[in-house]
């Protein structure tokens, strides 16, 4: 057995033992696809660096193969430009814009999609092509189409897939529009899986997936909170679903990313006591609720000292510890962001502070609403 095949088996064993890999057909795919073909080079984070610095690691270097068979996301592009192969000297900083997602998450999502032999599947976010190869192995090349936004990333994925012996249909374009050749009408796909996140569910997906078909996508936003949703299409342009357990996050689809902003300047505003502990919006689900309540806001800060800055109106929030215990909030601008966040957090707390899996989503052409518990429970409209 080659080293690579051995490392694949070891990883597949570990993912079986921890309960991630439950379907033998997906275990078979995990054992068959050599992840190193998709990761000739990648960026490793420089430990302790702030802001994070990335150092390229190339094929054949010490630890290159071993890292590929740990259950880790490996970054392959920064700022929509820099690829590890382009870096000739030293390390660099930047925002990750493409990667090979950690194998446990990719395999868990393929299983959660409830995909069956014969299904036609659309994947959005080809990235390195590793997840695409797993899908092509399991379903057959002719059943899978994958869309990648970035032409350079798309070309590299096409070459890697070819080298691995897979030939799914590949598209370079905006996957938020789905498959440009799908046409209008009854729906072409049985399943859609996205490995980038979205602020709302693109309408094209709801027409290209057949009624009864499923969409698996991470909902996220400009405060970087997220939840993985599994929706069932109920008719052309409509869907409903639940959020799933776990802690899933993905880089946001490029057209849904926050617009560039100026350097943050904190300005005076109206001050009052806060009715909630601001630290709650720094937690996994508290941050999700705050983002639902203030979807155009970016969140910064930590603990009791939180900052929200609404990208569309410039409205600001600053929270601090109060002088005599409690917390103080300062608000400025046309949108009283903290009023909204407080109300939302208190509704969530009254519902027992469920994790994202206690939420659901209902989508139509008119609105997209995320709710707690049941469709008639407390909810918030996504910024469609």
Binding site for ligand SAM (CB under 6 A): 97-101, 106, 124-125, 127-128, 130-131, 147-150, 153, 174-176, 195-196, 250-251, 253-255
Cβ distance to ligand SAM smaller for residue 66 or 95: 95
Non-local (6+) Cβ contacts of 255 within 8 A are: 174, 176
- Phi, psi for residue 169 in degrees, rounded to 5: -75, 130
Whichever of 125 and 168 has its CB closer to ligand SAM, that residue is 125
User: Residue 99 Cβ, how far from ligand SAM at the closest point, in Å?
Assistant: 5
Residue nearest to ligand SAM (CB): 127
Q: What DSSP line would sit under 41-101, residue for residue? A: EEEEEPTT-SS--EEEEETTSTTHHHHHTSS--EEEEETTTB-GGG--SS-B---EEEEE-
Count the alpha carbons within 13 Å of 122 in the hemisphere toward its beta carbon: 29
Q: Please return the burial class of 293, using the count of CB atoms within 10 Å of its CB with bins 0-12, 13-18 and 19+.
A: buried
Name the minimum Å distance from CB 97 to ligand SAM.
6
By C-beta, is 220 or 285 nearer to ligand SAM?
220
DSSP letter at 358 equals G
Instruction: Closer to ligand SAM by CB, 29 or 344: give it.
Output: 29
CA diameter of the chain: 68
For residue 382, the minimal CB distance to ligand SAM (Å) is: 17
Q: How far is the CB of 366 from ligand SAM (least distance, A)?
A: 24
Nearer Cβ to ligand SAM, position 75 or 363?
A: 75
As a whole number of angstroms, the distance between CA 314 and CA 324 comes to: 30
- Minimum distance from CB of 19 to ligand SAM (Å)? 21
Shortest Å, Cβ 16 to ligand SAM: 20
Spell out the residues 6+ positions from residue 24 whose beta carbon is closer than 8 angstroms to its own: none
In the complex with ligand SAM, the residue whose CB is nearer, 196 or 203, is 196
């Amino acid at each position: 057995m080659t080293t690579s095949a051995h490392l694949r088996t070891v990883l597949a064993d570990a993912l079986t033992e921890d309960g991630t890999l439950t379907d033998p057909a997906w275990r078979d795919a995990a054992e068959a696809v050599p992840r190193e073909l998709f990761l000739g080079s990648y960026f490793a984070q420089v430990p302790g660096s702030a802001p994070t610095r990335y150092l390229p690691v190339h094929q054949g270097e010490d630890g290159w193969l071993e890292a590929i068979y740990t259950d880790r996301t490996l970054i392959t592009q920064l700022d929509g430009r820099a690829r590890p192969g382009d870096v000739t000297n030293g390390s660099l900083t930047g925002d990750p814009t493409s990667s090979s997602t950690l194998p446990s998450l990719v395999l868990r999502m393929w299983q959660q999609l409830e995909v069956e032999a014969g299904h036609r599947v659309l994947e959005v976010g080809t990235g390195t092509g590793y997840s695409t190869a797993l899908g092509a192995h399991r379903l057959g090349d002719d059943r899978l189409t994958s869309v990648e936004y970035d032409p350079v990333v798309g070309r590299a994925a096409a070459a890697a897939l070819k080298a691995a012996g897979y030939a799914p249909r590949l598209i370079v374009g905006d996957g938020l529009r789905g498959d440009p050749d799908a046409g209008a009408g009854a729906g072409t796909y049985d399943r859609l899986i996205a490995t980038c996140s979205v602020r709302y569910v693109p309408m094209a997906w709801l027409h290209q997936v057949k009624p009864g078909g499923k969409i698996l996508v991470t909902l996220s936003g400009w405060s970087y909170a997220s939840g993985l949703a599994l929706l069932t299409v109920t008719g052309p342009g409509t869907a409903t679903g639940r959020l799933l357990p776990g802690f899933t996050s993905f880089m946001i689809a490029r057209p849904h990313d926050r617009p560039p902003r100026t350097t943050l300047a904190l300005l005076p505003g109206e001050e009052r006591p806060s009715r909630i502990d601001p630290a709650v919006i720094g937690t996994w689900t508290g941050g999700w609720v705050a983002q639902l309540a203030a979807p155009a806001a970016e969140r910064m800060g930590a603990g009791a000292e939180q900052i929200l800055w609404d990208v569309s109106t410039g409205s600001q929030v600053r929270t601090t510890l109060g002088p005599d215990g409690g917390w103080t909030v300062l608000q400025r601008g046309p949108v009283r962001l903290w009023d909204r966040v407080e109300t939302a957090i208190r509704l969530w707390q009254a519902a027992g502070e469920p994790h994202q899996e206690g939420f659901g989503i209902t989508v139509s052409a008119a609105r997209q609403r995320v709710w707690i518990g049941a469709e008639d429970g407390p909810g918030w409209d996504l910024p469609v």
